[in-house]
Amino acid sequence: MIYETLHNERIPKIGFGTWKIGGELSPNPSEDARSLEALHSALELGYTHIDTAEMYANGHAEELIGQAVREASIPRGDLFIVSKVHPDNIDYKDLLNSFENSMNRLGLDYLDLYLIHWPSSSIPLKESFRALNQLVREGRIKHLGVSNFDVDLLKQARAESETPIFTNQVPYSLADRTYMENGVLEYCQQNDILLTAYSPIKEGQLHVNSIMQSIADAHSVTAYQIALAWLVSQARVITIPMSFNPQHQAENMAAVDIALTDHEFEQLNQIA
């Protein structure tokens, strides 16, 4: 595994996303066994960066992650666990309450990273960071971050945060370069903020063209692995693919070791 090191923290370039673990926007207990199998497989393969949110299955994903981590008996210090607060809950009191609920569901004493999941048009960031800064001072959160923020909002977040913004989690892939085109990627790279790419292979629906397939064939890997390799070869970019399939989980993790040539990287850059 290759890592990014930021603010004395080492984080894997490829982590494990948990959207659809335990359901989608509401719990689906019929998926629990499948979800736990996926989590156990990921942990056994060596994934240590686990990303979730209170929005995922309305908190049930956090419950299942907590269960899987306890059953795996992995030392807490070997894991980097991330959760996100729902945008409706980012005023001072609601955020503190959401954080405690997440911690109870996860069964943890602290989070490595806590994010504002989406910006709110009605709740000032000042109120959100009043709570977030307090949680950092209390040692409940090691790092703060945001998700789906544009450059202007990132600047506001940096101004309100007492500690460096660790990441901005955004959709970013070969098929979606919105946050490259709007300047967020460059801003993050220039200001030591990780860009965490979610939906890096469009939930397994990424269109594979002849360029991707040709490069994949040259490396004896899949086209989806090439899509992930393109992301993690970029400075300050990490990603969090998700799969229930242990083989795909292993392939996703292995993508970090694919060394694209400069020519291959440029070919991929040119894909419209």
User: CB of 132 within 8 A of CB of 101?
Assistant: no
Closest CA to 114 of 88, 93, 91, 86: 86
108: tokens are 């943890």
Instruction: Round to whole Å and give the CA distance between 71 and 87.
Output: 31
Told to judge if 56 belongs to the known catalytic residues of this protein, a careful annotator would answer: yes
Residues 6+ apart with CB under 8 A from 21: 31, 35, 38, 39, 52, 56, 57, 61, 64, 65, 242
Question: Which of 3, 47, 56, 179 does the annotation list as catalytic?
Answer: 56
Which helix H or strand E contains 137, and what residues bound it? helix 125-137
Catalytic residues: 56
